[in-house]
Structure 1
Amino acid sequence: MPKKNHLEQFQCQFFRWPIYQRRNGVWYADGRSNGAGSQRTSLGTKDKHDALANLHHLDRVQAENLGLVPRSTSSAGPRHLSIKAGRKLFDDHTSRPRLVGGTKENTQKRYKSILDKLEAFLKTRRIVHWNQVTEKTLGDYAEHLTELEYAYKTVFGELNTIKTAFKWLCTEGHLSREPLKLKLRKADCQRAYCYTDAEVAAMIQYCGENDELTWLQGVIIGLSCTGLRISELASLKWSDVRFDDRALTIADESGFADSGNERRSTKSSRTRHIPIHQSFLGVLQSLPRQSNRVFLGPRGGQLKPDTVRNILVREVIEPLTPRFPKAYPGERSFENGRLHSFRHYFCSTCANNAIPERIVMNWLGHADSEMVRHYYHLSDEESRRKMDQLKLIGSSVGRSGV
């Protein structure tokens, strides 16, 4: 039989408490068997001296909760959690292995950037503890970011991340208070421009007639026929292409053992499989196999998303813009198109051809997608066809009967 763990015991005024440190260094008290009526409870610190001070407070609180002593309004609370210490706890939590719920490295970097900005702002307000952060603090911070001309969507995302970190600190017992309840209103942000059939055809023809852009022609066809993100297309390997059953594997390798090579990952952290359209199949069959990557850059090297972005705008969209002028001033038009617009084009085309919404979401790698719903709800051509099929007031009613 395995050895029973012997936890360090401390006798406080009312209860005897086993305490222990978790792997992240935070001290916990276990009140399940001492009559205190509590579960495992974080003492909110990695410092043993501070942990014991907080343990005495917990001992008093539990005695009050059980009615052993009258409630006291003057008893001191646990030591305040500093902004820096709270950040360290949250960083340790998000950087856990992916297997047990940790986040991707890119996500960790984004969280760090957001919390760096917040910490700098809090210093200007002389806020040094998480306990001092309130709904008003977040409101002031939102106003601060807005004054710095951050986009609405950016401010919304950053405040949501801060609320997530704060809630985790509360639920894990590092803060003895309720999570922040500030309600955030999600903006209906302007979506990427969606190319038309004519615009996509013009770009493909234009690249095919220019020897220096033939590599980009294949990229445009690939994006238009799959709805892939440019990062997914750029990382596509020949081993992902199955010609026998005309299917692509969009691989997420983030859970693989590290073999020293760069591991690919998808935004959803899931591998998916999509069929190869006939137009894209011809491109794949014509490409030379010079490396393990399917698509190569303009000089035969690795295809870099930023390079594709810049050349698409400079060498294709700008020269073709006069062919597709705006219908009226201020309208988003062809000149506003970017790489992600091909993903919107693919989704729009699927909606107009009555491909089931759930199938398209699987192809795009979405468990839930506002973008997909947008095109399925606003498919003008399909919407008009369905409207014309309705017999709202009967076909025999003429103008005189209205």
Structure 2
Amino acid sequence: MPKKRTRQVIQCPHFRWVLYQHKNGIWYADGRSNSPDLGRHSLGTSDQAEARSRVSELDLNKAVKQGLVDKSLLDRDSKALLQIAAGRRLYEEYTRRPLSVGGPRESTRKRYRAVLDKFVPFCTNQKIQYWNQVTDELLDRYASWLEIREYAHATQCFEIATILQINKYLVEKSHLPPEALIKKSVPKIQESTTYCWKPEEVKALFKACEDPELIWLRNVLITLAYTGMRISELAGLRWNDIDFEANKISLTDESKKKSLKGRNKRTIKSGYSRRFPIHPDLQPILNSIERQDDGLVFHGSRGGKIKPDVVRTVLIRDLLKPLADRFPSPDGEVGFIDGRLHSFRHYFCSVCANNNIPERILMDWLGHKDSKMISRYYHLNEKTSTEQMSKIQIV
């Protein structure tokens, strides 16, 4: 009885292939299940490992022929091509090294993952399969893609800087050839461009959230405005962080603790834990929220965990755009329509400055050891104070 043929399904970056060995011992690749039909091809070897290597070359050649990738890739050794998914795995493994040897904090790793969660699908849409194809021009297109989707200028800069950082790492570790290094600079943000809400705008946003379908969002926005928390901190807020008897909210940085069973460590951007009082107007809001089994305070419209990007999208779509005509922005200036979730942190800071809360106390509430943002609002407050003094006629 003849030996039964062994068939292997290989999913390459561009197409699906079925590898089988002919009775003469030569391996073949069958691509007829693809659209378009790619036919059957001899791989010219009886060695299985060599056959698997050659099917990758065949896949790239067919992709070039179908116009899926640039033909310049054929001039490179296929073994030197690094797939986007593989490069991501390498970098994320590198970022998981411990803090003691220079690894980033979990909160920073989350920000890197959020960047790649957008950049990888963008590459797929652009028919980019390898990190070797990531160029200066591609990053320009990615920045435009972010701009169209109304991501803030600072976010765009961070996203591009992260991709450049990954590119540099892959080259330095010889996962990419030296010529793949992207020589591009990203302007450093010297001052915050985040819009700061005005009181009448905040009231209008709260009012617009009274629709039953948006009550979850109203709870989120009110808490941001009354605490100055970051959206990431709010998303991870747990009921055991709130001490109603002491009237305090505690945010604990757990990055240096041992692994916590059942949940991820919470990390604070500043690296410092902090505790701050609950405003009297916020107490009834927190008390009105129904508790769920996961221990988290805030949930989305369907009861799931809060996702900052989803909250941001709903804020723009359901609140900012409908209210834009009511609060028009001056031509060429940042205005109401440009406000984002972080604007509530700025708003809280400005309200505290205008109510003469000592700067040192506010820094403790916000978790800052030093802050240009806080100083900005206190300087504005001093300017207003000076202007008011100059209006007084003593004699």
TM (norm. structure 1) is 0.56
Q: 2:302 aligns with which of 299, 303, 326?
A: 299
Structure 1 position 331, deviation (Å): 2.1
Residues 47-67 of structure 1 show CA distances to partners (whole Å, capped at 9, x for unaligned) of xxxxxxxxxxxxxxxxxxxxx
**C-alpha distance in 2, partners of 1:215/1:156?**
32
**C-alpha distance in 2, partners of 1:225/1:286?**
16
Q: 2:332 aligns with which of 324, 330, 333?
A: 330
Match of 1:198 in 2: 200
Residues 349-399 of structure 1 show CA distances to partners (whole Å, capped at 9, x for unaligned) of 1111122222222222222222222222223xx52223443699x966xxx
Does the 8 Å CA contact 2:349/2:374 hold for their aligned counterparts? yes
**C-alpha distance in 1, partners of 2:323/2:386?**
35
Does the 8 Å CA contact 1:348/1:375 hold for their aligned counterparts? yes
Residues 315-351 of structure 1 show CA distances to partners (whole Å, capped at 9, x for unaligned) of 111111121112x312221111111111111111111
Does the 8 Å CA contact 2:112/2:162 hold for their aligned counterparts? no
Match of 1:35 in 2: none
Match of 1:249 in 2: 250
**C-alpha distance in 2, partners of 1:355/1:305?**
29
Q: 2:368 aligns with which of 366, 369, 379?
A: 366
Match of 1:259 in 2: 261
**C-alpha distance in 1, partners of 2:136/2:372?**
24
Match of 2:311 in 1: 308
1:98 aligns with 2:99: yes
Q: Following superposition of structure 1 onto structure 2, how do residues 1-400 of structure 1 map, counting pairs within 5 Å?
A: 95-99=96-100, 101-103=102-104, 104=106, 105-106=109-110, 153-154=157-158, 186-189=188-191, 191-208=193-210, 210-254=211-255, 255-291=257-293, 292-326=295-329, 328-379=330-381, 382-389=382-389
Does the 8 Å CA contact 2:196/2:339 hold for their aligned counterparts? yes
For structure 1, which segment, 94-103 or 365-374, has the greater mean C-alpha deviation from structure 2 after superposition? 94-103
**C-alpha distance in 2, partners of 1:299/1:287?**
14
Tell me, which stretches of 5 or more residues in structure 2 are unaligned? 1-81, 83-90, 118-130, 145-152, 174-184
**C-alpha distance in 1, partners of 2:301/2:114?**
31
**C-alpha distance in 2, partners of 1:107/1:239?**
25
Residues 106-165 of structure 1 show CA distances to partners (whole Å, capped at 9, x for unaligned) of 47769999xxxxxxxx989xxxxxxxxxxxxxxxx9999779868794499569969x99
Residues 77-131 of structure 1 show CA distances to partners (whole Å, capped at 9, x for unaligned) of xxxxxxx9xxxxx999965422565324447769999xxxxxxxx989xxxxxxx
Secondary structure in structure 2 of the residue aligned to 1:262: coil
Structure 1 position 221, deviation (Å): 0.6
TM (norm. structure 2) is 0.57
Match of 1:7 in 2: none
Match of 1:52 in 2: none
User: Cα RMSD between the aligned structures?
Assistant: 4.5
Structure 1 position 201, deviation (Å): 0.7
Q: How many residues align?
A: 281
